[in-house]
Structure 1
Amino acid sequence: MAVVGTPTSATAKNMAVFIDADNLNDPTALDHVLLAVRSMADRITYRRAYGRPESLKSIHAVLWRHGVRPVANLIVDKTTTDSALVIDAVEAVCTNDIDIVAICSGDADFVPLAIWLREKGCKVLCYSLANKIFANPDSFYDDVVLLDVVEPKEEVALEAPLLSQSAVMQGAEAHTPELAVANPVPAARATTAGTAATKAKTPQVKATVVSGPSVKKILSILPELKDKAPMHLSQVAQRLRDGGVLAPNAKPILLFRRHPAQFELKPEHQPNTVRYRG
């Protein structure tokens, strides 16, 4: 069974994973990504994370668990994360037979890299926190996986006087299913009705693969577009929703911008019509 949010069509002989730790530095989300990519290739040749020392420190346990090499920024006035990642990604593809490259960042600065990698024949994936992704990423990546980390509510008993605030854990320890009891107590007291430990559940990751219908599918729902006459987006949106290819609250603009060679949006800055170029 594929991990939730994994592009099931993505398989490769060799894969490279490059992590922008200044952008994707949530340990739970990153752990989900690294688990997901394991089944996507025979071998992951490159596993590297780039960022400021404090960014890398926040995810060090996950990097160690998955054998990811941390690459700290040079000590200069400007952040060097993006440049170091791009240089290593280009070198990796030029010197190895890489089929898939996963860029773990929602930063738009990696768009030129994604385009270059696709021109070289690589399948390029983007993994990003949903609140840190730039607009229209699926126009540049073959697959985009957006991650939401959901913190579960703690189940606390009405009477739990034996726990102290110092029992709250951080980092990798946050995955422990139960908080430690601050002071040992006699068994008789521990079994008294109403006494229970606070349980901290592991945060869950909701991952969604951003995808859209093909041009052929769009034209099958909107055959009028084949006449190459402009159609108003409000009319188009309703038809696409009725056809099951557009979510109730989604905007059709993003869908058509995935296919700039086939569809023209007008006016450019605030489009309200779409025309099929043919």
Structure 2
Amino acid sequence: MSVVGTPASTTAKNLAVFIDADNLNDATALDHVLLALRSMADRVIYRRAYGRPESLKAIHAVLWKHGVRPVANLIVDKTTTDSALVIDAVEAVCTNDIDIVAICSGDADFVPLALWLREKGCRVLCYSLANKIFANPDSFYDDVVLLNVVEDVSPNEVPQAQSAQESGAIFQASPAVEPSPVPASKPKPQPVKAMTAPSDKAVVATTPSIKKILSILPELKGKQPVHLSQIATKLRDAGVLDAKTKPVTLFRRHPAQFELMPKSQPNCVRYRG
């Protein structure tokens, strides 16, 4: 699956992944993340998920599938979950030769951990749901991958060939059944329609990082307003914006870094820095 914002391939030897199940608790999104991490190193030696029992229960099937050890927080205070994750991450790096650490959470509480890991020479990745990420994560992580979880098309809608290919689903259409000759008094049977069974959810990482946006649109680095019509084509050519999506939708996902002007009906964007 081609994913915008996915970290480049690497030849790392060892990788560790720590999951904040109280933050990234969508089973479909987490499944895609763990599948992607498998190919990034020779071994994934630490696989742990931390959270309240109900949070871990919601993703228990994915944890079992990928061999992730759940660490339940039996205390009401959420900070104990974060503390347990931080302690285990520090212990893992101090006692093992770990090249990459993946933190599956959009919580800003893990920023000090990310900075410490980078100082120790680790490459630190952040995986988060797009609606749960804190502002300016690119300043603290080597790579940030934001995930959007969207519902598939409704059962009553027959997907077009292109959309079926993009979603990765396979739709097999049955041939239409020719009606048999019947007396005029009987109703003419209708052709049998192809039935499709959409999956529950599909995860699409469509939000590029700030670094990615600035690399496509270097004119924004001057921090001067740029008309949206001048940058829409570049974003679409780079594959971070589809034909039906307006540029304003992309920049609204990063309100801390980009200012849309005027606020009522924006037609320009300015990089805040």
TM-score bin (small chain): 0.5 to 0.7
The offset of 1:212, in angstroms, is 1.4
Which residues in structure 2 correspond to 1:206-225 (within 5 Å)?
Answer: 206-208=204-206, 209-212=208-211, 221=219
Which residues in structure 2 correspond to 1:1-278 (within 5 Å)?
Answer: 5-156=5-156, 199-208=197-206, 209-212=208-211, 221=219, 233-234=224-225, 241=231, 244=234, 248-249=247-248, 250=251, 254=257
The offset of 1:16, in angstroms, is 0.3
- Cα distance in 2 for partners of 1:273, 1:195 equals 51
- Cα distance in 2 for partners of 1:132, 1:102 equals 17
**SS state at 2:65 partner:** helix
* Length, aligned pairs only: 219
Code of the residue aligned with 1:36 in structure 2: it is A
**Structure 2 length normalisation: TM-score?**
0.67
Give deviations 1:24-52, integer Å, cap 9, x for gaps.
Answer: 01000000000000000000010000000
- Cα distance in 2 for partners of 1:252, 1:199 equals 38
Code of the residue aligned with 1:136 in structure 2: it is N
Conservation of the 8 A alpha-carbon contact between 1:50 and 1:84: yes
Give deviations 1:188-213, integer Å, cap 9, x for gaps.
Answer: xxxx9769877242421111452516
C-alpha change, 1:90 and 1:239, in structure 2 (3 Å) is: farther
The offset of 1:5, in angstroms, is 4.8
Give deviations 1:209-254, integer Å, cap 9, x for gaps.
Answer: 52516999987x58xx9xxxxx65325x779948948984337973
Conservation of the 8 A alpha-carbon contact between 2:18 and 2:47: yes
The offset of 1:156, in angstroms, is 3.9
Conservation of the 8 A alpha-carbon contact between 1:128 and 1:145: yes
**SS state at 2:146 partner:** strand
Conservation of the 8 A alpha-carbon contact between 1:233 and 1:274: no
Conservation of the 8 A alpha-carbon contact between 2:125 and 2:144: yes
Give deviations 1:145-195, integer Å, cap 9, x for gaps.
Answer: 0111111123249xxxxxxxxxxxxxxxxx9x9xxxxxxxxxxxxxx9769
Listed as ranges, the gaps of 5+ residues in structure 2 are: 158-168, 172-189, 242-246, 259-269
Listed as ranges, the gaps of 5+ residues in structure 1 are: 158-174, 178-191, 226-230, 256-271
- Cα distance in 1 for partners of 2:192, 2:234 equals 50
